[in-house]
Every structure is written in structure tokens, then in C-alpha cells.
Amino acid sequence: MGTALQVIATTTPALVKPPPDIEQLYTRYADTVYQAAYRVTGNPSDAEDVLQIVFLRLMNNRPATTADSLESYFRRAAINASIDILRRKKWQSEVELDPAREYSAKDSTALLKERIRRSLAKLPPDDAGLFVMCYLEGYSYDELAAYMNVERGTIGSRLHRIRAVLKKDLSR
């Protein structure tokens, strides 16, 4: 990790270098973006791709955020880009189970994580993001309610509905 800004700088024309404030943001939030992406994708290579995507988008499109909300912005951007990558990959590979093969508990855990990632990729981006922020990033219902500017009960009911959809999809 840590090379995304270097890749961006070396793959862009000499006249288009990252502004100094982008470099400062990268230094401060690259780990946050990478960790959020890795939690969603479960793949270091995909997390690196997300890191590049988030900062390239930032260079092209400056969000109207305050300093207080930058960490939330970067987490959300990482989650959204990760979900986009999972959606693209959904059609590229299918996990095939060989009935003759013995599966270990480690295999079962890896397969379950992959199935959950695929199920998340089927959800609307806001729902997938909410699920990830709550269960993978560890945000509380109160924090999520404040972030999304809704009531705490709304967060609870949305998460209940999301869990039901995921449970139904995973039981197939």
C-alpha cells in the first residue's frame, strides 16, 4: 500500500500533478480508505484499486465537505467504490463447489465471506453502505442516524430489512 498517489502522479501528464492539498489528504486518509475497502472486498489488490479510484475521483471532483466530515466522506467513498468493484466482479467468477472435495472450516469461512460480499453487491448502494458502516466499520446506530440525518429508529428498521434481504439471499 502507499503507492496509489505515486501511480496517479506517474500516469498523469506532467502538467496534471496532484495539488499539494490532495497529497495532504492522501497522507492523512489513505489508510482509512484502504482499510474500509479491504473490509468490504476482502482483497488487498481490490483495496488498492479502490484507493486509487477514490483519490482520482477526488482530483477530478472536489466534494463540498467540511473538515469535520472528511473522514466520513472518505469512508463512504471507499465503501461505494468497493461495492462497485464487487458488482463488476460478480459476473466474472462463480464459486463452484466440488461435491467430492473435502472442505475445511477455513474454506467454509472463506466461501461464506464471498457469498456475503456477493449478496451485498446486489443491494442498493445506500443499503450496502449502511450495512458495511454498521457491521464492518463499527458505527453505532446513533452515529449512523446523525451521519444520514435520520432518526435512530429509521436506522434500526433499515438494518432489519437489509439483514432479512441478505438472509433470504444467503439461504438460496
CATH 1.10.10.10 domain range(s) in the chain: 104-172
* pLDDT 10s digits, 110-122: 788 888 888 888 8
Reference 86, options 107, 57, 115; nearest CA is: 115
Residue 138 zone, left/alpha/beta (φ > 0; ψ -120 to 50; rest): left
CATH 1.10.1740 domain range(s) in the chain: 1-92
Cell representation of residue 10: 506517474
Q: How far apart are CA 125 and CA 87, in angstroms?
A: 10
One CATH from 1.10.1740, 1.10.60, 1.10.150, 3.40.1000 for 1-92: 1.10.1740
Least confident of 30-34, 61-65, 117-121: 61-65
Q: Which class does domain 104-172 fall in? A: mainly alpha
Tally of residues, the chain: 172
* pLDDT 10s digits, 76-103: 899 889 988 888 876 554 444 445 445 4
Q: How far apart are CA 93 and CA 149, in angstroms?
A: 38
Q: Which residues contact 119 (CB under 8 A, 6 or more apart)?
A: 165, 166, 169, 170
Q: Which residues contact 70 (CB under 8 A, 6 or more apart)?
A: 25, 29
What share of the chain in percent tops pLDDT 90? Answer: 30
